[in-house]
């Protein structure tokens, strides 16, 4: 039971992370051109490039980004948010272990005392369901819409004591949070298959680019067995403790769940997660179209209004703090090597409450030219 609860808490944080996206642009005093793909130049240096990514934009699109395939043949450095070396670094693993210890350090006896009653409350068919008791009529209508959209009752047919359109309301409360994201991903993958004709393995844009670079390095190593260095150096810009910093910044959310665990809070968590994922999957067509048109600021505005997005990206650890940390590395990288920077679009462009790295580079004498 404790493991299920831990997964629920991790889901709560992941809803904020995956259901969210960048903030709107600062329109006044805007100097960086609107776009998603840019050339970065400074006298005496080889040109570098920056591509802003958006959650869930299909990786196959990399072959349609103007000039990107040929640019990969000229760069000697790929700079992304976090590299594999950072993910497997002992300090990063220690940070993850600290998070798990924090989540597991809650009062287990309290959970053991209260959980059976909470589960019984969800599954009691003799009373009005928990969702009706703790959601407003408008919220309940929204959750019913989400359940119908994802055909949740079909997925829970053998797991609920009742059948019909309200079956999900009497299922184990841990089942719904485990369904929202996989069902959203299936909708997004289907969108790209039906609308864009992508039938290959689904990968996010930054992952696809990193995979391509790895393939190019492997081919280079096979052709030049005497060379010890890869043709394209991969750099993770984040510090190895960025995950820990993010978790610390979300302490209020975690404390709320751990210290005030109740049927009401669990209902609200399930509701928020379902609505956030529903809005994301329904807005993918708009986000994809804006992104392909190079409308960076409109793309951020569309994603900003997704449920929970503003709360996440207003966090100075997520955007502003990381931008400034990355700027301690990027100028030197671009001085030494022709670099392709692949990071979230909110980090490139000026956003509400934060300055983008392109604006910061401009202040250091770099010329920024829109490609897309």
The per-residue pLDDT for range 45-92, each reduced to its tens digit, is 999 999 999 988 999 999 999 999 999 999 999 999 876 444 444 555
Model confidence at 130: pLDDT above 80: yes
What is the reported pLDDT for 2? Answer: 46
Name the CA radius of gyration of the chain, rounded. Answer: 23
Q: Between these two residues, 4 and 111, which has the higher pLDDT value?
A: 111
Percent residues over pLDDT 90 in the chain: 46
Q: How far apart are CA 132 and CA 267, in angstroms?
A: 10
What is the reported pLDDT for 19? Answer: 40
Closest CA to 274 of 143, 106, 368: 143
- pLDDT, one tens digit per residue, over 277-335 is 999 999 999 999 999 999 999 998 888 778 766 666 666 667 888 899 899 999 999 99
Q: pLDDT-based confidence at 368, cuts 50/70/90?
A: very high
Check: CB of residue 121 under 8 Å from CB of residue 130.
yes
Model confidence at 6: pLDDT above 70: no
Model confidence at 12: pLDDT above 80: no
- What's the average model confidence in pLDDT over 248-269? 72
Q: pLDDT-based confidence at 194, cuts 50/70/90?
A: very high
What is the reported pLDDT for 240? Answer: 61
Q: Taking all residues of the chain, what is their mean pLDDT, rounded to a whole number?
A: 81
Q: Between these two residues, 148 and 105, which has the higher pLDDT value?
A: 148
Q: Between these two residues, 95 and 340, which has the higher pLDDT value?
A: 340
Residue the block writes with tokens 């220690």:
94
In terms of phi and psi (left: phi > 0; alpha: psi -120 to 50; beta: otherwise), the region of 29 is left
For strands 37-41 and 367-370, give the pairing. antiparallel
Model confidence at 4: pLDDT above 80: no
What is the reported pLDDT for 25? Answer: 39
- What's the average model confidence in pLDDT over 331-354? 92
What is the reported pLDDT for 20? Answer: 40
Q: Between these two residues, 259 and 229, which has the higher pLDDT value?
A: 229
How many domains are contained in the chain? 1
- pLDDT, one tens digit per residue, over 47-58 is 999 999 998 899
- What's the average model confidence in pLDDT over 164-183? 84
Q: How far apart are CA 269 and CA 159, in angstroms?
A: 20
Q: How far apart are CA 309 and CA 307, in angstroms?
A: 6
Predicted TM-score of the model (pTM): 0.81
Closest CA to 108 of 5, 251, 238, 234: 5
In terms of phi and psi (left: phi > 0; alpha: psi -120 to 50; beta: otherwise), the region of 148 is alpha
What is the reported pLDDT for 96? Answer: 54
In 293-356, alpha helices (H): 296-304, 309-313, 320-326, 330-336, 345-348
Task: Write out the residue range of the structural domain in which residue 97 sits.
Answer: 2-370
């Amino acid at each position: 039971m404790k493991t299920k609860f831990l997964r629920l808490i991790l889901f709560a944080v992941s809803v904020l992370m995956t259901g969210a996206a960048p903030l709107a642009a600062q329109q006044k005093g805007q100097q960086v051109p609107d776009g998603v793909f840019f050339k970065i130049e400074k006298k005496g240096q080889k040109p570098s490039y920056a591509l802003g990514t958006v959650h869930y934009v299909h990786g196959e699109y990399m072959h349609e980004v103007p000039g990107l395939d040929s640019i990969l043949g000229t760069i000697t450095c790929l700079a992304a948010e976090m590299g594999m070396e950072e993910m497997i670094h002992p300090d990063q693993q220690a940070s993850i272990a600290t998070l798990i210890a924090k989540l597991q350090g809650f009062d287990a006896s309290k959970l053991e005392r209260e959980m059976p009653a909470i589960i019984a409350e969800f599954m009691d068919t003799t009373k009005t369901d928990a969702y009706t008791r703790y959601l407003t009529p408008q919220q309940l209508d929204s959750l019913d819409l989400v359940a119908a959209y994802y055909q949740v009752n079909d997925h829970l047919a053998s797991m609920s004591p009742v059948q019909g359109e309200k079956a999900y309301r009497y299922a184990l409360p841990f089942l719904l949070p485990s369904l929202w994201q996989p069902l959203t991903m299936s909708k997004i993958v289907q969108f790209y298959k039906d609308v864009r004709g992508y039938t290959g393995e689904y990968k996010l844009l930054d992952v696809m680019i990193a995979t391509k670079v790895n393939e190019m390095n492997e081919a280079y190593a096979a052709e030049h067995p005497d060379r010890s260095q890869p043709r394209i150096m991969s750099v993770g810009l984040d510090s190895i403790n960025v995950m820990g910093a993010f978790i610390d910044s979300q302490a209020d959310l975690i404390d709320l769940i751990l210290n005030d665990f109740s049927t009401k809070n669990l209902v609200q968590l399930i509701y928020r997660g379902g609505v956030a994922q529903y809005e994301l999957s329904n807005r993918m067509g708009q986000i994809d179209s804006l992104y392909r048109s190079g409308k960076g600021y409109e793309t951020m505005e569309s994603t900003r209004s997704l449920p929970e997005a503003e709360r996440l990206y207003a966090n100075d650890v997520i955007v502003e703090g990381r931008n400034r940390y990355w700027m301690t590395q990027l100028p030197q990288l671009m001085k030494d090597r022709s670099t392709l920077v692949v990071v979230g679009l909110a980090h490139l462009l000026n956003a509400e409450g934060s300055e983008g790295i392109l604006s910061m580079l401009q202040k250091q004498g770099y010329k920024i030219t829109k490609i897309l």
